[in-house]
Amino acid sequence: MACFFRRSIAAQLSRIFGQDEAFFLPLVCAVPVSKRQPTPDFRLTVSSLVKSGVLPPDGDLPAQTACLARQLKGDGVVEEVIPTRGVINFRINKLLLAEKLLTSVHAEPQGFGMQSEILQRLRRGRVLVEYSSPNIAKKFHAGHLRSTIIGNFIANLKEALGNDVIRVNYLGDWGMQFGLLGAGFQRLGSQEKLRENALQHLFEVYVQVNREAEQDESVRLAAAEFFRRLEQHDQQALLLWQQFREISVKEYRRVYERLGIHFNHYSGESFHQSKIQDVLTSLQTQGLLKTTEKGTGVVDLSEAGDMSSYCTVLRSDGTSLYITRDIAAAVDRKEMFSFDEMIYVTDKSQSGHFWQLFLILRMLGHSWAERCVHVPFGLVQGMSTRSGDVVFLEDVLDEARNRMLQNMHQTRTSKELSDPALTAEQIGISALIVQDFKGPLISDYKFNWDQVLQAQGDTGVFLQYTHARLCSLLRTQASVSHTHFDPCHLQDIRSLSTLQHLLRYDEVLLQSALELQPRYLVNFLITLCHLVSSAHRDLSVKGSALSVAQARLHLFSCTCSVLASGMRLLGITPVQKM
C-alpha cells in the first residue's frame, strides 16, 4: 500500500534532517497518472519543507532542491530520484508496487486505505450529522435530495474512518406553517381523504389556506392562534399535529428505503420545546436578551454593541422562532449525545442562519460550538420530468428508473436480470448522486437527463457499467484461482497506470474528509474506471497463460473491490449485472 512506500521515502528524510519519520509522511504525495507520459510515483515539494520549518525560508529553492536530491539515495524500494523545479520525484520498484498494493487490497477489500498513516491525524470521536430534514405534512420535495445524499456521504465517510456517527433527520415539524395547516385542516380537511392519499391531501389544504392567508387577516389570526395552542400543549391541537407527523414519517421512510438511506434518530423542532425556556432564561441571565419597542426578543450580534446586527429569538406574542428552536436543539443534543463534532447539511441560503446560531452558542459560553460545522450546497436548476416540472422527489426517482429501464432495453449487451426494475432504479439513483457530486457542493448546476444517464460519459451509469463488467469477468473466470500471483506479469503500462492510481486512494479519502466534499472521491473513481476499462480491453484473461491470467484477474478483482468500496461511501449500491 502507499504507506509502505511513503515510509521508505520518509525514513531517508528522517535520516537527513533528524526529524521523526511520521513528520514527513503527509509531505510525500502520490502523483496523479498522466495520459501523455510515464508518471513518477511520488513527489515531495521542497516548499513544503520550507513551510514546515525544516529548511530555511531565505534559501535558494533550486539549490535546496538539488542539494536534497543528492542526499536521497535509490534503494530496493526507491529506484530513481528525479529533481525538477522545486519538486523531487520518486520512481519506485514496480514489482514491489504490484505485490504490496494488491496484497493490501486483497487483505482488506472493503477497508483498503482506511487505516493509512496519513489519516491518523484526523480527529476521531462521536460525530452527529443532521441532514435531509424535510417539512412534515408535505410530500418529499425534490429540493431535499441534495441535503439527503450529501449528508449520507458525509456520515458514511466519517463512519468508515472510525468515528461513532449519529445520523439525525431534523424534521421541520414546528412553527407558524403548522398553525396555518392546523387551522386550515379544521376547516378544509377530510379524514377520509387523509386515509386515501395523506400527504397529497395535506399539501392541497396547505396551498389553499396559504393562498387565503395572503388576502384574509382572519385566516392569519386563526393560524397564529393554532400555533399558540400548540406551544401551550393544547391536547386537541397536539393530537392533530401528531397525526400529521406520524403520516409524514411513514411516507418518508419509504422514500429513504428506495435511496438506501437510514437514520439513527428522527428528531424535529418539536423535540426540544422543553429547552426553549431554558435558552431564553440563559440569554436573559447573561444580559444577552433585549426587548425591542415592538415587543420582540432579540440578541445583539454587533461587535460594537450598537444593535447594527441582531437576531430575533422571540415573537411579540411569546412564541419561538426557528433560530430559538435550533439553539435549544443544539444544547439538548450536546447533553443527550455528548458529540465531539456536529455537522449541518443545508442549502447555502441558510449560511447566515448558521453563522448566527454558532455565534449565539459561543456567546452563551458553549465552547463546543467551535466544533459545529455548516456544509452548504447550491441549487439544482432545470430538474423536470417528461410530464413537466418536478415538485416531488419520488417523481425524480421514478423518472430516473424509467429512463434507465428504457436505455437498458435498447442495449443489446444488457444481461438477463432477475429484477430489471430494481437494477434500473439502483443505476438511476447512482446517476443522480454522481451528477450531484462531480463539482463543488456550493455551486449551482443545471440538470440534464441525457447527460446524467450516459453510459460512456463521466457518470454514475459508467461507474455501474464498469463494476458490472468486472463482476462478469470474475464470474466467467471463477475456475481460475488468483489468490497467488506473479507481479512480473503486471509491468505493462495499463496495469501500472491502474496501480499508480490506486496509490492515491488514501490521499483522496483524506482530502474528502478535511473538506467534506465528495467530488474528490467521484473524480478518483471515474478515473479508476477509465484506467481499468483500458486494461480490461487490452489485457486478455481468456486464452492467456495461467500465470498471466492469475495476475490480471488479481488486478481486476482488487480494482473491483476498491471501486465498490468507494461507491458505497458515496451512497451508491454497486450492481453485479446490467
Give me the active site residues, please.
138, 141, 144
Q: Residue length, the chain?
A: 578
Nearest to 20 by CA among 47, 43, 45, 54: 54
The rounded distance, in Å, linking the Cα atoms of 374 and 362 is: 15
Cα Rg of the chain (Å, integer): 28
* Nearest residue to 497 (alpha-carbon basis) of 458, 463, 529, 540: 529
Give Cα separations from 569 to 26, 122, 262, 509, 563 (angstroms). 23, 18, 14, 10, 10
How far, in Å, are 141, 198, 256, 378 from residue 392 at the CA level?
Answer: 4, 14, 13, 18
Measure Cα distances from 54 to 6, 47, 70 in Å. Answer: 18, 10, 17
Name residue, grid cell 425591542. Answer: 292
CB 268 within 8 A of CB 170: yes
Query: What distance in Å separates the CA atoms of residue 368 and residue 232, rounded to the nearest whole number?
Result: 31
The residues near 418 (Cβ < 8 Å, ≥ 6 apart) are none
d(CA 364, CA 405): 55
- The single-letter DSSP state of residue 492 is S
322-337 vs 351-363: helix crossing angle, rounded to 10? 60
- Grid coordinates belonging to 342: 456536529
CA atoms within 13 A on the CB side of 303: 0
Count CA atoms closer than 13 A to 405's CA, side-chain side.
12
Helix then strand then coil, in percent of the chain rounded to 5, is 60, 15, 30
In what helix (H) or strand (E) does residue 140 lie, and over which residues does it extend? none
Rounded to whole angstroms, the Cα distance separating 65 from 323 reads 54
265-268 β-sheet, strand order? 265-268, 164-171, 126-130, 341-347, 372-377
**Which of 130, 125, 124, 104 shows the shortest CA–CA distance to 116?**
104
Grid cell of 65 as nine digits: 532542491
One-letter amino acid of 348: K
> Which grid coordinates belong to 93?
520498484
Question: CB within 8 A of 22, min separation 6: which ones?
Answer: 10, 117
Residue 265 exposed, middle or buried by CB count within 10 Å (0-12, 13-18, 19+) = middle
Distances in whole angstroms, Cα of residue 292 to Cα of each of 209, 309, 360: 31, 13, 18
